[in-house]
Homo-oligomer: A and B are copies of this chain.
Amino acid sequence: MPSRAAEFRAEEMALISALEHERLTAPRTGELLAACEADPSLGADEAAAANLREARRDYDRATRIPTDLVAEMARTTSQAVEAWKEARRTSDFPAFRPWLERIVELSVRRARCLGAPPGGELYDALLDDYEPGVTAARIDGTFGPLREALAPLIAEIAGSPLRPGEPVRRVRVPIDRQVEFNRRVAERIGFDFSSGRLDVSTHPFTEGLAPGDTRITTRYAEDRFTEAVGSTIHETGHALYEQGLPKGALHGQPLAQAAGLGMHESQSRLWENHVGRSRAFWEWALPEATGLFGAAIDGIGVDDVHAAVNRVQPSLIRVEADEATYSLHVMLRFDLERAMVRGDLAVADVPAAWNDRIRADLGLEVPDDRHGCLQDIHWSSAAIGYFPTYTLGTLYAAQIWEAIVDALPDVEGRMARGDFAPVLHWLRENVHAHGRRYRAADLCARITGRPLGHDALFRHLNAKLRPLYRL
C-alpha cells in the first residue's frame, strides 16, 4: 500500500470494523440465537448443535466488546502496521515503541472486557481469539517438555561438523522456471486453481477470500529454490484446508470455518514438514524440477535436496528458521507477549529481553532490532496470542501425520510416485469436513487417539535429523 494511503485506510478500517461489530452484536442476532436454543429439534442434531454453540460463543464474546474499542483497535493497528514497516526498515524501535505501548494497552482493555477464564489469566482471553479453549497454563504444559527435548538435540547438532545439503546452496534457478515448478507442486498436492490463485508477495500468506476464491502467495530468490517450494507447500496446506471446509448453505456459519489457527497451522505444517521435507516427496519432485530447471541442477540428487531442506542452523529470523529451532522462536514471543499483558515486561524493555533470550536459546547476537523484536508484523496488528498457534500447529501436524501413516501404510510409496491424493483425502474427511464442529484439542484427540503432546514431533525430528547428522 502506498504510504500516504495509511491514514485514510485507518479510518476505513475503523468504520468497517464498527459496522461489522454492530451487525454481529445487534439485539436481533441475540433473539435469533435464543430462538434456536429454545428449539428442541436443534439439540438432537449434533452438527446443528455445534454450529449453534459456536455462534453463541462468537456472539457472547463480541457483545462484551464496546464498538468504540473495536473501531479504535482497527484504526490503531491499521496505522501501527505502517509505523512498524518503517521502523523495521530503519531498525528504529523507539519509533515503534509508542505504537506497541498503545496496542498492549488496547489489548489489555479488550482482554478485560472478555474476561479471563476461571483460574486463568488475562492473556488467555486473547489466546481464545486464535485457539478457542486453550490457556497459557496448558500451553506451558506442552511447550515446557518440548523445550527440554529440543535443547539437547539442537546442541548435539550444533556440535556436529557436518553441513548437510551444501551442494544445493550453489544452485541458481531462474525465477520464471521456479514459478512454473511451484505451480505444478501446488496443483499436484491438490490446490484447485479454478478456486484460487498463486501469486508473489514479500511475505507468503493465504487468504480465504470467499467460497471458490482462496489466494496464496509465495516468494522467490534465484539462489533459494527449495525455500520457495517450502513456502508454496506451506501456504498450499493452509489453502487446502480452506478449499476443503464445508461450503454452500453453511457459508458464513461456524461449521464452515476453521477450528482455530492451531489446526490451520497444522495443515500447512503437515504438508511443509511431513510431505515437503520428506525423501519420498523429492523422489517425485526432483525429476519434475530437473525437467524444468535443466542444467541449473545438474549433479544434484534426492539426498542433496533432502539434506538441504532439513539442515538445522540457528538463525535470527523466525520465518527462515529450520524445523528444529523454529519452536524456540515461537516460545520467546509467547513468553514476552504474555509478560507484556501481565505488566511484567515494559515495552521499552522488549529489545533487551528479546536479545537476551536469543543469546540464551540460540547462542546468537542480535545485531539490530530489524533482526530482533521488529521482525514480525503480528504485534503491530495486535495479534497478541497468535504466535503459540504456530507451535501448536507443528505439534498437531506431527501427531496427525502418525495417524495418517497408520491409516495409509503405503503413503511414502504413493508420494514418491507423485500421488498425494490419499493424504488429502484423509485430511478432507478427518479434519477439513468438520469445520469448527470440534475444538482443535478435541479433534486432535478424536483423530489421533490421544491428547496433544510433543512425542510425535520429537520422534519425527529424531528419525530424520539423527541420520542426517550421523548422531
Contacts and interface: CB of A to CB of B under 8 A. Distances in A.
Interface in A96-119: none
Contact of A210 (B5, B211, B212): B5
Interface in A391-422: none
Contact of A212 (B7, B197, B209, B214): B7
A4 B195 CA distance: 5
A196 interface: yes
A211 B8 contact: yes
A196 B4 CA distance: 8
Interface string A184-196: 0000000011111
A471 to B, nearest CB: 45
A160 interface: no
Contacts of A209: 5
Contact of A8 (B7, B9, B197, B213): B213
A2 interface: yes
A12 interface: yes
Interface string A1-35: 11111111100100000000000000000000000
Contact of A2 (B4, B8, B197, B251): B197
A82 to B, nearest CB: 11
Contacts of A12: 210
A2 B211 contact: no
Interface in A173-217: 192-197, 209-214
Contact of A5 (B1, B3, B7, B212): B212
Contact of A9 (B2, B193, B213): B213
A193 B8 CA distance: 16
Interface residues of A, number: 23
Contacts of A212: 2, 4-8
B3 A210 contact: no
A140 to B, nearest CB: 42
Tell me which of A1, A7, A12, A197 has the highest count of chain B C-beta atoms within 10 A of its own C-beta: A1
Nearest to A247: B8
A195 B211 CA distance: 32
A216 to B, nearest CB: 11
Contacts of A196: 2
A3 B214 CA distance: 11
Nearest to A196: B2
Contacts of A8: 210-213, 251
A322 to B, nearest CB: 32
Nearest to A1: B213
Contacts of A9: 210, 213
Tell me which of A12, A213, A251 has the highest count of chain B C-beta atoms within 10 A of its own C-beta: A213
Contacts of A197: 2
Contacts of A6: 212
A197 B195 CA distance: 27
Nearest to A251: B8
Contacts of A5: 195, 209-213
Nearest to A195: B4
Contacts of A251: 8
A26 to B, nearest CB: 15
A282 to B, nearest CB: 29
A85 to B, nearest CB: 13
Contacts of A192: 4
A13 to B, nearest CB: 11
Given A5-B210, A8-B213, 4 more contacts: A2-B212, A2-B214, A4-B195, A5-B211
21 contacts: A1-B213, A2-B195, A2-B196, A2-B213, A3-B194, A4-B192, A4-B211, A4-B212, A5-B195, A5-B210, A5-B211, A5-B212, A6-B212, A7-B212, A8-B210, A8-B212, A8-B213, A8-B251, A9-B210, A9-B213, A12-B210
